[in-house]
Amino acid sequence: MHPLWEMKSMAGNVFSAYASVATSVMLLRSLANDIVPEPVKSFFHAAFSRFFKHLLDRFLGRQPTQMTMVVDEQTGIARNQIYDAAEVYLRTRINPDAERLKVNKLPKQKTITLSMVKDQAVEDRFNGVDLKWQFVLVEADGQKGGFQPEKRWFELTFEKSKKNIIVDEYLPFVLAKAQDIRDDDRAVKLFTRDCPFDDDDDGGNGGGGYWGCVNLDHPATFEKLAMDPNLKRAVIDDLDRFVRRKDYYKKVGKAWKRGYLLYGPPGTGKSSLVAAMANYLKFNVYDLELSNLYSNSELRRMLLCTNNKSIIVIEDIDCSAQFHDRDRDRDKEVEADTDDQSNNTKLTLSGLLNFIDGLWSTCGDERIIIFTTNHREKLDPALLRPGRMDMHIHMGYCTPEGFDVLALNYLDINDHPVFFPEIKQMIQQLEITPAEIAEHLMRSEDVDLALQGVVDLLKEKKAKREELYMVESDDAKEIKFSGDVAKSGKEKGKKRNFWKSVIKFQERAEKTKEVVSGGGDVTVF
């Protein structure tokens, strides 16, 4: 056959095949039209068109359909939480090789932060979805008529079909992550009643008018604490368990709070342990001085003005004279109740305990309450009852292991061939506090001189103790109270308030900073 005829007949075949397929499709369509209900039809129609569009995009090498969400800095007059969270979160996503970055540090921030510059983009990936954030900034403009303030927003671009994942999972993830980062960077605050400042500008009601606060820049950490390693581990584990058990507390119907009683001689690190706990958990500390309070209602008001994620510390609970006899307290309350003055009863132990157990249980999360005492034996049994304080922590005299921690902390040394064995041997035989040793370790920058100071201190102590033994049989009691413990100032009622000294120290540091930076132009508050 002539090739031209051959082509013609092939074209004819193709045409007739196409015509028959088209007829069948039309037939099927009209059949389907009659049988399949309208909603099902439109569902399949949308699904098929999406599928074919996707195939076509793939085939032509086109990007799948993207969508962009605009995250404005403000929503109306309020700040947009997603914008703020994105700003914080994206710091962790910025490519460190970027050619331009913004660098910031606020006065109360602990670390320097990097942030995006105008038009910078940051890529992210979440559950297999690729995302791109872009920071857009339109500078303030006073040229064309009215003043246009600076406008900032983020544009978040991703594959359109993943919108639900972004809204339901990714953005909540960004919000939570940003909160974690903020918590990490947050300076721990110390609240006391008569603090001269109130620099609590974080928008919370942590002060509530009753408390003044400063940043707690105390360097205490668990690593620096000289205490029994097993006990230290147990305390850290207990804190970890406490903070991660929110749901558990809810399930068993218990308030999410925990109580610790720290006891031991003066200078063994009880207050330092509280500061270490606060730094570890990033919880604020409220120093509740009971001697300043006169009624249960005042106490209740103060406690209600404390924030979640906080430690309330009541130092030297044994020194609060009114807290010795609970029965007497109860009698007083009954009297007051009959006078119809129940809200203004005198401050009592039962008032405190009731508040901790009752009212407070229903308002407030993640609270830790810590009592410290030098004399556990003097405490009201109500405080010691099992279940009242969840953990009793004994801070004891310095041990050889404790000395290792102190030497590393104060002198940066792990060992010393001459002094270490001698010091450790004497420490084992004596009752000496970490505070006393720390004080001597700080006396010189010269390692040998500092260690020699500790040896002299220990020898002196040893000699005194031997002297004490020699006369003990005559009149033990009298001699004991003329010894070191009595001279510590504690027994004489001149106890130094740890938290006030922290504030004083920080005040002094601030003033020194002003002198250095202000060239003599000092402002004294």
Q: Is position 379 an interface residue for ligand ATP (rule: CB under 6 A)?
A: no
Q: Is position 212 an interface residue for ligand ATP (rule: CB under 6 A)?
A: no
Residue written as token pair 């002003």: 514
Q: Can you spell out the DSSP letters for 389-457? A: BSEEEE--S--HHHHHHHHHHHH--S--TTHHHHHHHHHHHS---HHHHHHHHTS-SSHHHHHHHHHHH
Q: Is position 271 an interface residue for Mg ion (rule: CB under 5 A)?
A: yes
Work out whether strand 367-373 and strand 310-314 pair parallel, antiparallel, or are unpaired: parallel
Question: Within 13 Å of residue 56, how many CA atoms lie on the same side as its CB?
Answer: 7
3-state helix, strand, coil in the chain (%, to 5): 50, 15, 30
Q: Is position 265 an interface residue for Mg ion (rule: CB under 5 A)?
A: no
The number of residues in the chain equals 525
Binding mask 472-491 for ligand ATP (x = CB under 6 A): ------------------x-
Q: Is position 420 an interface residue for ligand ATP (rule: CB under 6 A)?
A: no
Q: In this complex, which beta carbon is closest to ligand ATP, that of residue 181 or of residue 413?
A: 413
**One of 206, 207, 259, 267 touching ligand ATP (CB under 6 A):** 267
**One of 257, 270, 309, 367 touching ligand ATP (CB under 6 A):** 270
Q: Is position 210 an interface residue for ligand ATP (rule: CB under 6 A)?
A: no
In the chain, the N- to C-terminal Cα span, in Å, equals 112
**One of 302, 438, 450, 502 touching ligand ATP (CB under 6 A):** 438
Q: Is position 296 an interface residue for ligand ATP (rule: CB under 6 A)?
A: no
Q: In this complex, which beta carbon is closest to Mg ion, that of residue 420 or of residue 498?
A: 498
Residue written as token pair 């045409």: 15
Stretch that binds ligand ATP, among 54-62, 117-125, 268-276, 462-470 (CB under 6 A): 268-276
Find, among 165, 137, 160, 152, the residue nearest to 68 by Cα: 160
Stretch that binds Mg ion, among 123-131, 253-261, 355-363, 492-500 (CB under 5 A): 492-500
Binding mask 322-361 for ligand ATP (x = CB under 6 A): ----------------------------------------
**The dihedral sign for the CA sequence 97, 65, 84, 148:** positive
Q: In this complex, which beta carbon is closest to Mg ion, that of residue 271 or of residue 433?
A: 271
Q: Is position 450 an interface residue for ligand ATP (rule: CB under 6 A)?
A: no
Q: In this complex, which beta carbon is closest to ligand ATP, that of residue 489 or of residue 518?
A: 489
Find, among 225, 197, 201, the residue nearest to 211 by Cα: 197
Report the 3 state secondary structure along 345-359. Answer: CECCHHHHHHHHHCH
Give contact residues for ligand ATP (rule: CB under 6 A): 224-227, 266-272, 374, 395, 406, 434-435, 438, 490, 498
